[in-house]
Structure 1
Amino acid sequence: MEIREEITAYGHENIQCSHKSTIELTKEDHLTKKGNCILGINCSKACVDLNSEFKDIIRKGKKINVMIKVDDLKDQFYGYGDPNMTLLDEKDIVFRKSNFICNRTILIKCNKASCELDKKLIEKLRIPGKKIKILFRD
């Protein structure tokens, strides 16, 4: 499986990852406790910034594997693209367990939400500035 896209984001003291249906990455540089689905801030890319080849793969409805790496810890999940994905949001990327699609949605029918991610990994994400790598493979 070839790496199709790589994104970098950073931790924040308010990261909770307690949402039951989504995982989110944002380019925003701050986070309140209300953002309970957010995995990382200061994200290197939003939907609009993804490479065009990867966007084409997503729009073919393919299964995409996502790996999250923080130091020596890893977690992974998968989801599916859809021909209706616009991938136009300039600030966020959202992974959804549901079939809901908007400009922020990158994958639907994901097998994990933020509350199901590895708790040790989430603890590390609460360290401000902790680097997170997100790798996408098809």
Structure 2
Amino acid sequence: MMPLRETFKARGHPNVRSTHRTTLMTTTDDHLSTKGDCIIAVSAEKGLRDLDPRIKEAIRREGSTVRLIIETEGKTFTVEGFGDPRLTLSHPSDMVIRKSGYICDRTLMIRADKAACDIDNFMIELLRKEKCQISLIIEASL
């Protein structure tokens, strides 16, 4: 079965630090303080609440795999994890990828294979540019 796919845009920010060891996050907010060390993209076109109902259904299936692909200026970073029937996928502004199994309304996937700290320095420099256009691609499959 082909994975369901949803693509949307975000942008970079000078305060992107990308040092968090267990999470990675995107937000629709346009401001980022230096405390947000897991946030890798701002001004995202979508929060979890805005995702297509079909991809939400796929993410909530038992045994589903979820992938987030981050693309900018020819560089790609991919993180893979798992969906869960308990995910609400309801937060209006945030999407959080977690290495742990913790679930809240901001969680997109759990037991992910990477976090913000795993993004290489060259890509982090790109994500720090305010004019940086970022494509975010979510895929879900069984």
Structure 2 CA distance for partners of 1:3 and 1:89, relative to 1, 3 Å? same
Could you list the runs of 4 or more consecutive aligned residues of structure 1 that deviate by over 4 angstroms after TM superposition?
A: none
Q: Distance in 1 between matches of 2:29 and 2:17?
A: 16
Counterparts in 2 of 1:39-78, with a 5 A limit? 39-61=40-62, 62-78=64-80
Q: Distance in 2 between matches of 1:3 and 1:70?
A: 21
Structure 2 counterpart SS, 1:93: strand
- Structure 2-normalised TM-score? 0.93
User: Which range moved further: 117-126 or 31-40?
Assistant: 117-126
1:20 offset after TM fit, Å?
Answer: 0.5
Aligned length in residues: 138
Q: Cα deviation per residue 1:19-78 (whole Å; 9 max; x = unaligned)?
A: 000000011111110000001000110010000000000000401122110111111110
Unmatched segments (≥5 aa) in structure 1: none
- Structure 1-normalised TM-score? 0.95
Identity %: 36
Aligned residue in 1 for 2:22: 21
Q: Distance in 2 between matches of 1:67 and 1:76?
A: 4
Q: Distance in 1 between matches of 2:52 and 2:114?
A: 24
1:7 offset after TM fit, Å?
Answer: 2.2
Structure 2 counterpart SS, 1:122: helix
Aligned residue in 2 for 1:123: 125
1:3 offset after TM fit, Å?
Answer: 5.2
Q: Assess if the C-alpha contact under 8 Å between 2:4 and 2:55 holds in 1.
A: no
Unmatched segments (≥5 aa) in structure 2: none
Structure 2 CA distance for partners of 1:69 and 1:124, relative to 1, 3 Å? same
